[in-house]
Structure 1
């Protein structure tokens, strides 16, 4: 049970540099298990400068509950060289422990999927990655409709990492697949 009851007064917005200290607290406190598992995830070990850098280089979204940042999720603007995917990638998803179990994280994730990925970007799907050795993250994302599309062990001690995808616009996703298939077939003919 969350230690903070969550009222209906929630707001979604982009983070600003002024939010960096609170975001450091949210991410650091939320990523305790990640550090205990000795995963090398940058967010789990971020300092204030890395938080500011994330805000400046990416789209870092926050959910405020009663005026307090309770959760955050970043839409990466950096190329996904290691995953070879052209779909939007979200990372640094964290819910402050005082709000965990309240549904705040699901609200933020759903809002980003709908308002940002689907409506703003017009994308058919999004991706995220998580570690197999985390005790509950993989199952949680799969319950939320994400499916495993690629697995790899980068050899850095994190073990098997899974790239997951969630289709947020099925019609557009099918059209994208058909267009890619047609493009590949056309290239094979030349």
Structure 2
């Protein structure tokens, strides 16, 4: 089994759209207003072009993706890197694929390449398993907020990636 961690290219856009759409079914069922849950091909292509979209390719096929935002979503809150649009192909869920990709990005990109001491991401409290999943991965609640769009309470989470922390 070959595993390749890499930046996505525009040639990956259709597969990434498929992975995200299938992985975000619960997000749509909960009627959360997350852009990735309804992303069309143009949005995926823009995400790849404007941010650092990483993938884990297994045996030649993208199985997981996560994006390191180059935007300023957290301006005024924190300068730490922000991850978004994390998704794992449902056929690969529960096999450690997502864990591998997140660990690689946290260590190789956030810690080693950027030299950041920690990383952030956000999730909805009403999602049945995302908040506990991230907390099991070592993310801690940094702040709660209500975006006022019907999603209810969202949590900004932070994980230390610095050695010894």
Query: TM above 0.5, one fold?
Result: yes
State whether structure 2 residue 154 is matched by structure 1 residue 165: no
State whether structure 2 residue 20 is matched by structure 1 residue 27: yes
What TM-score, normalized by structure 2, do the two folds share?
A: 0.97
The residue number in structure 1 matching 2:117 is: 124
CA distance in 1, matches of 2:92, 2:76: 31
CA distance in 2, matches of 1:28, 1:116: 25
CA RMSD of aligned residues (A): 1.3
From 89, 95, 101, the counterpart of 2:82: 89
How many residues align? The count is 165
**Structure 2 unaligned spans of 5+:** none
Structure number with bigger Rg: 1
What whole-Å deviation, never above 9, does each CA across 1:20-59 have from its counterpart, x for those lacking one? 0000000000000000000000100100000000000000
The residue number in structure 2 matching 1:133 is: 126
State whether structure 2 residue 72 is matched by structure 1 residue 49: no
**Structure 1 unaligned spans of 5+:** 1-6, 174-190
What TM-score, normalized by structure 1, do the two folds share?
A: 0.84
State whether structure 2 residue 61 is matched by structure 1 residue 65: no
State whether structure 2 residue 9 is matched by structure 1 residue 16: yes
1:73/1:92 contact within 8 Å kept: yes
What whole-Å deviation, never above 9, does each CA across 1:69-95 have from its counterpart, x for those lacking one? 000000000002477221000000000
State whether structure 2 residue 103 is matched by structure 1 residue 103: no
